[in-house]
Amino acid sequence: MLRSTVRTALHKLGIAQAARAFHPGCRILVYHRFGEDHARLAAHCEHIRKYYRPVSMRQVVESLRGGLPLPNSAVAITIDDGYRDFLLHAAPVFLQYEISVTVFVITGFIDRALWPWWDQVTYMFRRTRRTGISFSGREVVISGDILRVIDGVTRGLKRLPRRERDARIAELQQRLEVELPKDAPSEYEPLSWDDARELSAAGVEFGGHTRTHPILSCESDEAELRDEIAGSKQRLDEQLGVPSLHFAYPNGTPADYDERTVSVVKESGFVSGVTVGRKFIGRGADCFRLARLDVDPSLPQGHLVDSLAGLR
């Protein structure tokens, strides 16, 4: 409560305005999921329109490659993974405010060949009747804060090579005694290719986010690495009829991609690669290591305000 009171007082004194002036560089935001309450996202768009200058990822890259300079306090909006809630609850809001958006999709997800493994873990824990299991050499108590339990398990699985992680999830399914549906349930539904084409025609830009969302630095097989990256671009280009230009590294921390990964992204025909991190984009930034600020409309508005101002 004390921290919240102090933060409120500082905002009344104009700290956010001062921070914006001190950090004139471009911000790239990344969203993932959207709820039915459109008012929260509309509040984000109102704030961005009032204090910042929305730009597209295409403008960001063209500027970094010697084109027109970006306006001070430029903001680019990106969305990761390709859930259908973007179409239902976010695209109408961004279009209403005339804010450009780039959506990075897992092409295997859009193809209905898979649904994200972290959603599978969440689905199983929310439906199991077990109160505890032995998993990965430790006891997991399934009670109390279930979100904390899920977070702990997914953190342990995140950096495993894909095949090992798939085996662990199969083990988890057996121990939790929950049947996993082949297709993503409605709460985890992906966009369809028809949805993507409709959005593309409305001005939404699409980029690659691999075929299956592995941690690319953990992929030792060169052919699989190329298939994940170049294969995602090929699928996007075939389905949308326009070249996909931008790529998002899954998870996106410095440990999740390496020089080999960046080389394949370049060779595949992408012109940029986005990561995650608390950095703003200035002149001379590396187009294949563009940091993004993670935001979520379900969090208090102050989280967006502080993130954009550089106070987080």
Whole-number Å distance between alpha carbons of 120 and 181: 9
Q: Are residues 99 and 141 in the same domain?
A: no
pLDDT single digits (tens) 226-245: 999 999 999 999 999 999 99
- The total number of structural domains that make up the chain: 2
Q: Are residues 133 and 241 in the same domain?
A: no
pLDDT at 305 over 70: yes
Mean pLDDT for 107-136 is: 95
**What's residue 145's pLDDT?**
86
Q: Are residues 141 and 288 in the same domain?
A: no
Q: How confident is the model at residue 272 (pLDDT cuts 50, 70, 90)?
A: very high
pLDDT at 13 over 50: no
Q: Are residues 18 and 59 in the same domain?
A: yes
Q: Are residues 67 and 206 in the same domain?
A: yes
Q: How confident is the model at residue 23 (pLDDT cuts 50, 70, 90)?
A: low
Q: Are residues 100 and 34 in the same domain?
A: yes
Q: How confident is the model at residue 137 (pLDDT cuts 50, 70, 90)?
A: confident
pLDDT single digits (tens) 63-88: 999 999 999 999 999 999 999 999 99
pLDDT at 19 over 70: no
Q: Are residues 196 and 297 in the same domain?
A: yes
Rg (CA), the chain: 20
C-beta of residue 247 within 8 angstroms of C-beta of residue 104: yes
Q: Are residues 52 and 164 in the same domain?
A: no
pLDDT at 105 over 70: yes
Among 134, 159, 176, the domain boundary falls at 176
Q: Who has greater pLDDT, 136 or 117?
A: 117
Q: Are residues 246 and 138 in the same domain?
A: no
C-beta of residue 60 within 8 angstroms of C-beta of residue 271: no
Among 176, 193, 208, the domain boundary falls at 176
Please name the helix (run of DSSP H) or strand (run of DSSP E) that holds residue 206, with its range, or none.
strand 205-208
CA dihedral (92, 97, 100, 106) positive or negative: negative
Whole-number Å distance between alpha carbons of 163 and 212: 11
**What's residue 136's pLDDT?**
82
Please report where in the chains the tokens 């209905």 appear, as a residue: 112
Find the range with the poorest average confidence among 100-114, 154-168, 196-210. 154-168
pLDDT at 12 over 70: no
Among 176, 201, 224, the domain boundary falls at 176
Q: Are residues 80 and 45 in the same domain?
A: yes
**What's residue 117's pLDDT?**
96
Residue 312: both structure tokens together: 């987080």
**What's residue 18's pLDDT?**
60
Give the β-pairing of 101-105 and 74-81: parallel
Share of the chain above pLDDT 90, in %: 81
Q: Are residues 127 and 197 in the same domain?
A: no
* CATH classification at residue 90: 3.20.20.370
**What's residue 223's pLDDT?**
95
Mean pLDDT for 30-44 is: 96
Domain hosting 25: range is 2-113+184-309
pLDDT at 6 over 50: no
Q: How confident is the model at residue 58 (pLDDT cuts 50, 70, 90)?
A: very high
If we measure between CA atoms, which residue out of 57, 6, 5, 17 comes closest to residue 306?
Answer: 17
Q: Are residues 192 and 237 in the same domain?
A: yes
